[in-house]
Homo-oligomer: A and B are copies of this chain.
Amino acid sequence: MAGLVLARVCGVPFVLMHPAPCFRMPNMSMSRLSALSGFQTLFIGPGQCMFPPPVVLPPCTSVQSVSPPAESTTSTSIYRVIGPKVSFCSKCGGPTEHCIPDGEERLRAICKSCGIVHYQNPKMVVGCVVAHEDKVLLCRRSIEPSYGLWTLPAGYLELGESAAEGAVRETWEEAIAAVDIEAPFALLDIPRIGLSYILFRAKLRTLDFSPGIESLDCALFHIDDIPFDQVAFSSVTVALQLYVEDYKAGRFKVHHGVLDKRMGSSPSDPSGYTFRDHISN
Protein backbone atom coordinates (compact mmCIF):
# COMPACT_ATOMS: atom_id res chain seq x y z
CA MET A 1 0.00 0.00 0.00
CA ALA A 2 1.39 3.34 -1.00
CA GLY A 3 -0.50 5.52 1.42
CA LEU A 4 -3.48 5.99 -0.85
CA VAL A 5 -6.58 7.74 0.41
CA LEU A 6 -9.59 8.30 -1.78
CA ALA A 7 -11.39 11.58 -1.23
CA ARG A 8 -14.01 13.60 -3.00
CA VAL A 9 -13.12 17.27 -3.48
CA CYS A 10 -15.79 19.45 -5.05
CA GLY A 11 -17.56 16.32 -6.17
CA VAL A 12 -14.54 15.10 -8.10
CA PRO A 13 -12.85 11.88 -7.01
CA PHE A 14 -9.27 12.42 -5.93
CA VAL A 15 -6.44 10.21 -4.89
CA LEU A 16 -4.40 11.47 -2.00
CA MET A 17 -0.98 9.96 -2.41
CA HIS A 18 1.81 9.85 0.09
CA PRO A 19 4.67 11.10 -2.06
CA ALA A 20 7.50 9.59 -0.04
CA PRO A 21 9.25 6.66 -1.72
CA CYS A 22 6.86 3.78 -1.63
CA PHE A 23 8.00 0.55 -0.06
CA ARG A 24 6.71 -1.54 -2.93
CA MET A 25 9.12 0.14 -5.32
CA PRO A 26 11.90 1.16 -2.97
CA ASN A 27 14.05 2.70 -5.67
CA MET A 28 11.37 4.96 -7.04
CA SER A 29 12.28 8.59 -7.55
CA MET A 30 9.86 11.42 -6.88
CA SER A 31 9.41 11.96 -10.60
CA ARG A 32 8.58 8.31 -11.07
CA LEU A 33 6.20 8.38 -8.16
CA SER A 34 4.57 11.47 -9.56
CA ALA A 35 4.19 9.72 -12.90
CA LEU A 36 2.80 6.66 -11.14
CA SER A 37 0.34 8.69 -9.15
CA GLY A 38 -1.89 9.03 -12.15
CA PHE A 39 -2.58 10.03 -15.67
CA GLN A 40 -2.32 13.80 -16.06
CA THR A 41 -1.92 14.56 -12.40
CA LEU A 42 -2.55 17.98 -10.94
CA PHE A 43 -1.03 19.15 -7.70
CA ILE A 44 -3.57 20.96 -5.57
CA GLY A 45 -2.54 22.61 -2.32
CA PRO A 46 -4.73 22.88 0.81
CA GLY A 47 -7.66 25.23 0.34
CA GLN A 48 -7.36 25.40 -3.44
CA CYS A 49 -10.24 24.37 -5.63
CA MET A 50 -10.26 24.42 -9.41
CA PHE A 51 -13.58 22.74 -9.95
CA PRO A 52 -17.36 23.38 -9.67
CA PRO A 53 -19.14 23.37 -6.27
CA PRO A 54 -19.49 20.05 -4.45
CA VAL A 55 -22.00 17.50 -5.68
CA VAL A 56 -23.23 14.95 -3.18
CA LEU A 57 -22.52 11.52 -4.60
CA PRO A 58 -23.69 8.23 -3.13
CA PRO A 59 -21.11 6.53 -0.95
CA CYS A 60 -18.66 4.23 -2.64
CA THR A 61 -18.87 1.02 -0.66
CA SER A 62 -15.63 -0.55 -1.77
CA VAL A 63 -13.26 2.35 -1.15
CA GLN A 64 -10.00 1.50 0.55
CA SER A 65 -8.87 4.24 2.88
CA VAL A 66 -5.30 3.78 3.97
CA SER A 67 -3.65 6.39 6.12
CA PRO A 68 -0.27 7.65 5.04
CA PRO A 69 2.70 6.59 7.17
CA ALA A 70 3.29 8.68 10.28
CA GLU A 71 6.65 9.94 9.00
CA SER A 72 5.03 11.64 6.06
CA THR A 73 5.51 15.39 6.03
CA THR A 74 3.61 16.01 2.80
CA SER A 75 0.61 13.81 3.25
CA THR A 76 -1.83 16.53 2.21
CA SER A 77 -0.47 16.57 -1.35
CA ILE A 78 -3.37 15.79 -3.62
CA TYR A 79 -3.03 14.43 -7.13
CA ARG A 80 -6.03 14.19 -9.37
CA VAL A 81 -6.30 11.16 -11.59
CA ILE A 82 -7.82 12.32 -14.87
CA GLY A 83 -7.89 9.19 -17.12
CA PRO A 84 -10.51 9.32 -19.88
CA LYS A 85 -13.77 9.61 -17.95
CA VAL A 86 -16.08 6.61 -17.76
CA SER A 87 -19.39 7.99 -16.43
CA PHE A 88 -21.60 5.15 -17.65
CA CYS A 89 -21.21 1.41 -18.04
CA SER A 90 -20.50 0.32 -21.62
CA LYS A 91 -22.25 -3.01 -21.00
CA CYS A 92 -25.53 -2.05 -19.30
CA GLY A 93 -25.63 1.77 -19.52
CA GLY A 94 -25.83 2.20 -15.73
CA PRO A 95 -23.99 5.05 -13.98
CA THR A 96 -20.53 4.39 -12.59
CA GLU A 97 -18.77 5.45 -9.42
CA HIS A 98 -15.03 5.84 -9.03
CA CYS A 99 -13.57 3.70 -6.27
CA ILE A 100 -10.51 1.71 -5.37
CA PRO A 101 -11.83 -1.87 -5.40
CA ASP A 102 -10.92 -4.20 -2.56
CA GLY A 103 -7.49 -5.69 -3.13
CA GLU A 104 -6.44 -3.01 -5.60
CA GLU A 105 -4.63 0.29 -5.27
CA ARG A 106 -5.97 2.28 -8.18
CA LEU A 107 -9.08 4.26 -8.85
CA ARG A 108 -11.48 2.41 -11.19
CA ALA A 109 -14.86 3.21 -12.69
CA ILE A 110 -17.32 0.62 -11.34
CA CYS A 111 -20.88 0.23 -12.60
CA LYS A 112 -23.41 0.82 -9.82
CA SER A 113 -25.94 -1.38 -11.64
CA CYS A 114 -24.04 -4.46 -12.79
CA GLY A 115 -20.80 -4.08 -10.81
CA ILE A 116 -18.41 -4.36 -13.76
CA VAL A 117 -15.04 -2.71 -13.26
CA HIS A 118 -14.02 -0.64 -16.29
CA TYR A 119 -10.24 -0.87 -16.50
CA GLN A 120 -8.50 1.84 -18.48
CA ASN A 121 -5.07 1.25 -19.89
CA PRO A 122 -2.49 3.05 -22.03
CA LYS A 123 -2.71 2.79 -25.81
CA MET A 124 -0.04 1.86 -28.31
CA VAL A 125 1.03 4.02 -31.23
CA VAL A 126 2.95 2.01 -33.81
CA GLY A 127 5.11 3.32 -36.61
CA CYS A 128 8.28 3.08 -38.65
CA VAL A 129 11.58 4.81 -39.05
CA VAL A 130 11.75 4.14 -42.78
CA ALA A 131 15.28 4.27 -44.14
CA HIS A 132 16.65 4.56 -47.64
CA GLU A 133 20.46 4.66 -47.66
CA ASP A 134 21.40 7.56 -45.38
CA LYS A 135 17.94 9.11 -45.45
CA VAL A 136 14.71 8.73 -43.49
CA LEU A 137 11.14 9.16 -44.67
CA LEU A 138 9.07 11.87 -42.98
CA CYS A 139 5.48 13.00 -43.53
CA ARG A 140 4.20 16.57 -43.15
CA ARG A 141 0.88 16.47 -41.31
CA SER A 142 -2.31 17.66 -42.99
CA ILE A 143 -4.31 17.34 -39.74
CA GLU A 144 -4.17 18.69 -36.22
CA PRO A 145 -2.44 18.45 -33.86
CA SER A 146 0.80 19.76 -35.33
CA TYR A 147 -0.62 20.61 -38.77
CA GLY A 148 2.20 21.33 -41.21
CA LEU A 149 4.96 19.76 -39.09
CA TRP A 150 6.99 16.65 -39.90
CA THR A 151 6.46 13.25 -38.34
CA LEU A 152 7.25 9.57 -38.70
CA PRO A 153 4.41 7.48 -40.15
CA ALA A 154 2.63 6.18 -37.04
CA GLY A 155 -0.81 5.73 -35.52
CA TYR A 156 -2.89 3.76 -33.07
CA LEU A 157 -2.53 -0.01 -33.06
CA GLU A 158 -5.87 -1.60 -33.92
CA LEU A 159 -7.47 -4.74 -32.52
CA GLY A 160 -6.59 -7.77 -34.59
CA GLU A 161 -3.18 -6.68 -35.85
CA SER A 162 0.35 -7.04 -34.56
CA ALA A 163 2.56 -4.05 -33.82
CA ALA A 164 4.60 -4.66 -36.98
CA GLU A 165 1.46 -5.07 -39.10
CA GLY A 166 0.07 -1.85 -37.66
CA ALA A 167 3.34 -0.02 -38.39
CA VAL A 168 3.26 -1.25 -42.02
CA ARG A 169 -0.39 -0.21 -42.35
CA GLU A 170 0.24 3.28 -40.94
CA THR A 171 3.22 3.74 -43.27
CA TRP A 172 1.01 2.83 -46.20
CA GLU A 173 -1.80 5.12 -45.06
CA GLU A 174 0.37 8.17 -44.38
CA ALA A 175 3.07 7.82 -47.04
CA ILE A 176 1.63 5.29 -49.55
CA ALA A 177 4.93 3.51 -49.10
CA ALA A 178 5.40 -0.27 -49.07
CA VAL A 179 8.04 -1.21 -46.51
CA ASP A 180 9.69 -4.26 -45.04
CA ILE A 181 10.14 -4.28 -41.28
CA GLU A 182 13.73 -4.94 -40.28
CA ALA A 183 13.81 -4.88 -36.47
CA PRO A 184 12.29 -3.31 -33.38
CA PHE A 185 13.79 0.13 -32.76
CA ALA A 186 12.20 1.97 -29.84
CA LEU A 187 9.55 1.80 -27.14
CA LEU A 188 8.93 5.36 -25.94
CA ASP A 189 6.36 5.90 -23.23
CA ILE A 190 4.49 9.09 -22.44
CA PRO A 191 2.75 8.23 -19.15
CA ARG A 192 1.10 11.62 -18.76
CA ILE A 193 -1.08 11.05 -21.81
CA GLY A 194 -1.25 7.24 -21.58
CA LEU A 195 0.61 6.51 -24.82
CA SER A 196 3.40 4.10 -25.70
CA TYR A 197 5.15 4.52 -29.05
CA ILE A 198 6.41 1.27 -30.57
CA LEU A 199 8.67 2.03 -33.51
CA PHE A 200 10.38 -0.31 -35.96
CA ARG A 201 13.20 0.20 -38.40
CA ALA A 202 11.98 -0.48 -41.92
CA LYS A 203 13.25 -0.28 -45.49
CA LEU A 204 11.46 1.13 -48.52
CA ARG A 205 10.69 -1.58 -51.08
CA THR A 206 10.83 0.92 -53.91
CA LEU A 207 11.21 4.66 -54.12
CA ASP A 208 7.48 5.01 -54.74
CA PHE A 209 5.79 7.05 -52.04
CA SER A 210 3.33 9.91 -51.93
CA PRO A 211 1.31 11.69 -49.27
CA GLY A 212 -1.69 9.83 -47.87
CA ILE A 213 -4.82 11.61 -46.71
CA GLU A 214 -3.28 12.66 -43.38
CA SER A 215 -0.16 14.09 -45.03
CA LEU A 216 0.54 17.27 -47.00
CA ASP A 217 3.87 15.96 -48.21
CA CYS A 218 6.34 13.10 -47.78
CA ALA A 219 10.08 13.33 -48.28
CA LEU A 220 13.37 11.58 -47.64
CA PHE A 221 15.69 13.62 -45.43
CA HIS A 222 19.40 13.00 -45.12
CA ILE A 223 20.17 12.23 -41.47
CA ASP A 224 22.13 15.49 -41.21
CA ASP A 225 19.24 17.52 -42.63
CA ILE A 226 16.32 16.37 -40.50
CA PRO A 227 14.19 19.47 -39.75
CA PHE A 228 14.32 19.10 -35.96
CA ASP A 229 12.82 22.58 -35.53
CA GLN A 230 9.68 21.48 -37.39
CA VAL A 231 8.99 18.06 -35.86
CA ALA A 232 5.39 17.38 -34.90
CA PHE A 233 5.81 15.41 -31.67
CA SER A 234 8.45 15.16 -28.96
CA SER A 235 8.36 11.35 -29.22
CA VAL A 236 9.32 11.67 -32.90
CA THR A 237 12.12 14.09 -32.04
CA VAL A 238 13.55 11.60 -29.52
CA ALA A 239 13.20 8.67 -31.94
CA LEU A 240 14.97 10.56 -34.73
CA GLN A 241 17.77 11.67 -32.38
CA LEU A 242 18.30 8.06 -31.28
CA TYR A 243 18.23 6.89 -34.91
CA VAL A 244 20.84 9.44 -35.99
CA GLU A 245 23.09 8.50 -33.03
CA ASP A 246 22.84 4.79 -33.84
CA TYR A 247 23.40 5.37 -37.55
CA LYS A 248 26.56 7.36 -36.88
CA ALA A 249 27.76 4.81 -34.34
CA GLY A 250 27.33 2.07 -36.93
CA ARG A 251 25.01 -0.09 -34.81
CA PHE A 252 21.29 0.06 -34.28
CA LYS A 253 20.11 -0.73 -30.77
CA VAL A 254 16.60 -1.13 -29.37
CA HIS A 255 15.69 1.72 -27.03
CA HIS A 256 13.25 2.26 -24.20
CA GLY A 257 12.68 5.52 -22.41
CA VAL A 258 10.10 7.83 -20.92
CA LEU A 259 8.99 11.27 -22.03
CA ASP A 260 7.65 13.40 -19.20
CA LYS A 261 5.52 16.03 -20.86
CA ARG A 262 5.29 19.42 -19.21
CA MET A 263 1.68 20.32 -18.36
CA GLY A 264 0.24 22.64 -20.97
CA SER A 265 3.07 22.26 -23.48
CA SER A 266 2.19 21.72 -27.13
CA PRO A 267 2.96 18.31 -28.67
CA SER A 268 5.79 19.83 -30.73
CA ASP A 269 7.30 22.13 -28.07
CA PRO A 270 11.04 21.32 -28.05
CA SER A 271 11.26 22.34 -24.38
CA GLY A 272 7.95 20.74 -23.42
CA TYR A 273 9.36 17.45 -22.17
CA THR A 274 12.21 15.65 -20.51
CA PHE A 275 13.48 12.26 -21.66
CA ARG A 276 14.45 9.93 -18.82
CA ASP A 277 15.29 6.35 -17.92
CA HIS A 278 16.79 5.62 -21.32
CA ILE A 279 17.99 2.02 -21.70
CA SER A 280 18.99 0.02 -24.75
CA ASN A 281 20.34 -3.40 -25.55
Most B CB contacts (10 A, CB to CB) among A89, A191, A253 go to: A191
Q: How many copies does the complex hold?
A: 2
Of all chain B residues, the one with the shortest Cβ separation from A92 is B88
* A13 at the B interface (CB under 8 A): no
Assuming the A-B contacts A32-B165, A164-B256, A184-B281, are A159 and B194 also in contact, with contact meaning beta carbons closer than 8 angstroms in the complex? yes
Binding-face segment, A4-12, A20-28, A47-55, A217-225: A20-28
Contact of A252 among B83, B161, B281 (CB under 8 A): B281
Most B CB contacts (10 A, CB to CB) among A120, A184, A252 go to: A184
CB 8 Å contact bits of A163-177 with B (1 = contact, 0 = none): 111001100110000
* A271 at the B interface (CB under 8 A): no
Q: Does the CB pair B252–A156 fall under 8 Å?
A: no
List A77-92 residues whose CB lies under 8 Å from chain B. Answer: 81, 83, 85-92
* A151 at the B interface (CB under 8 A): no
Q: Report A32 CB to chain B, min CB distance, Å.
A: 6
List A99-132 residues whose CB lies under 8 Å from chain B. Answer: 103, 106, 109, 118-124
Q: Report A195 CB to chain B, min CB distance, Å.
A: 10
* A216 at the B interface (CB under 8 A): no
Contact of A189 among B83, B163, B252 (CB under 8 A): B163
Q: Does the CB pair B35–A163 fall under 8 Å?
A: no
Assuming the A-B contacts A87-B93, A162-B191, A258-B162, are A279 and B183 also in contact, with contact meaning beta carbons closer than 8 angstroms in the complex? yes
CA distance A234 to B160 in the complex (A): 18
Assuming the A-B contacts A90-B88, A160-B41, A191-B162, are A25 and B183 also in contact, with contact meaning beta carbons closer than 8 angstroms in the complex? no
> A residues bordering B, Cβ < 8 Å?
24-28, 32, 35-39, 41, 81, 83, 85-95, 103, 106, 109, 118-124, 156-165, 168-169, 172-173, 178, 180-185, 187, 189, 191-192, 194, 196, 198, 200, 213, 252-256, 258, 277, 279-281
